[in-house]
Chain A
Amino acid sequence: MQWGSLENFLAMGGYGFYVWGSYLVCAGVIVAEVWALRHRRRLALNEVRRATPAAGRSA
């Protein structure tokens, strides 16, 4: 293992702020998108639950 310790790993050779600042925001954006997608699906399903067939259209 090239890092030796967790501290060294987190320090990233002095670039910890930049490296982890990149990865944390990237992970946060992805988690937020997945949450938003699930929320949107729930809303859409609620709409469908209340929906009535479109008028004037035969199958």
Chain B
Amino acid sequence: MSSATTSPGFSLFRYAAPNVFYPIAGKMVPLFAVVAAVLAAIGLYIGFFMAPTDAQQGDSYRIIYIHVPSAWMAMFLYVTMAFWAGVGLVFNTRLSSMMAQAIAPTGALMAFISLWTGALWGRPTWGTYWVWDARLTSTLILLFLYLGFIALQAAIDDQRRADKAGAVLALVGVVNVPIIYFSVKWWNTLHQGASVKPGSSSMADIMLTGMLLMVFAFWSYAIAAVLMRLRAIILERERRAQWVLDARDRGTL
């Protein structure tokens, strides 16, 4: 056991982080959940009742209000997961590895939502639910990277080794994220290019407003879900730590 060889000060530092962050996360969860609900309500109202029917795609384009936010979050969460996994790998900080573990399932769900909504959008616009094109295939790989990370961590009993193996997988998989992002430029693909770019967007303002509100709604939701999972993971991993037992006895868990 390495804990026997570390100094009391160091082990105190290592235990302090989850212990400090647990109650903070507990306050942030309802806050971000409420923000997500409010933003989604406004965004969907704009998207369905104020934004007009698209001249080319009719009302099928309204899938954009969940398709783009979920696709962006799937990529963003992956990079965030790999970052925290990498920090945990290099500095051996427990909370970082827990954060990576907490992000993975929400990231996988976001990737799934983007693929599902993309399929249902592709059928009326391209005439097919699925093609093996660069954007779609690389997003499917993203989903598999998330699932691989989850499966690998679950398969290794020793938590520290599980964190390390997961971190290596997560970091190697980061190369896929720019491939997804630039796939529509690098290859001939059915998927349209970026409609939203800094400084210039090809979307109508009202559609863009609704979509960006939904992006922030998904963002808030993801933060709430990840922090909720992080709190459960902290309890699972630290259930025998003194601060957890003290908080349990005080009734403040």
Seen from chain A, the residues whose Cβ lies within 8 Å of a Cβ on chain B are: 1-3, 9, 12-15, 17-19, 21-23, 25-26, 29-30, 33-34, 37, 40-41, 43-45, 47-49, 51-54, 56-59
Task: Check B229 for interface membership: any CB of A closer than 8 A.
Answer: yes
* Bound CA span A33–B224, Å: 11
Whether A13 pairs with B53 at a CB distance below 8 angstroms is yes
Q: A2-B53, A14-B58, A45-B235 are in contact. List 17 more A-B contacts (CB 8 A).
A: A2-B52, A12-B62, A19-B120, A22-B117, A25-B116, A26-B66, A26-B113, A26-B117, A33-B225, A45-B253, A47-B235, A47-B236, A51-B240, A51-B245, A52-B240, A54-B240, A59-B242
Whether B59 pairs with A19 at a CB distance below 8 angstroms is yes
Cβ-closest chain B residue relative to A55: B240
Interface class of chain B by DSSP: helix
Which residues in A have their C-beta under 8 angstroms from that of B60? 12-13, 15, 18-19
Task: Check B105 for interface membership: any CB of A closer than 8 A.
Answer: yes
Q: How far is the CB of A10 from chain B (nearest CB, A)?
A: 11
Lowest 6 CB-CB distances: which A-B pairs, in order?
Answer: A44-B235, A13-B59, A15-B60, A54-B240, A22-B117, A12-B59
Whether B3 pairs with A57 at a CB distance below 8 angstroms is yes
Task: Check B248 for interface membership: any CB of A closer than 8 A.
Answer: yes
Whether A30 pairs with B221 at a CB distance below 8 angstroms is yes
Q: How far is the CB of A27 from chain B (nearest CB, A)?
A: 9
Q: How far is the CB of B204 from chain A (nearest CB, A)?
A: 14
Cβ-closest chain A residue relative to B44: A23
Number of A-B contacts (CB under 8 A): 104
Q: How large is the interface on B (under 10, 10 to 19, 20 to 34, 35 or more residues)?
A: 35 or more
Chain B 116-128, CB-CB to A under 8 Å as 1, else 0, gives 1100110110000
In chain B, residues 225-245, which have Cβ atoms closer than 8 Å to a Cβ of chain A?
225, 228-229, 231-232, 235-236, 239-242, 244-245
* Known contacts A44-B236, A48-B235, A25 near B245 by CB under 8 Å: no
* Bound CA span A45–B252, Å: 11
Whether A18 pairs with B63 at a CB distance below 8 angstroms is yes
Cβ-closest chain B residue relative to A25: B116
Cβ-closest chain A residue relative to B245: A53
Residue in B59, B124, B229 whose beta carbon sits within 8 Å of that of A37 in the complex: B229
Chain B 98-114, CB-CB to A under 8 Å as 1, else 0, gives 00000001100100110
Cβ-closest chain A residue relative to B29: A37
Chain B 160-176, CB-CB to A under 8 Å as 1, else 0, gives 00000000000000000
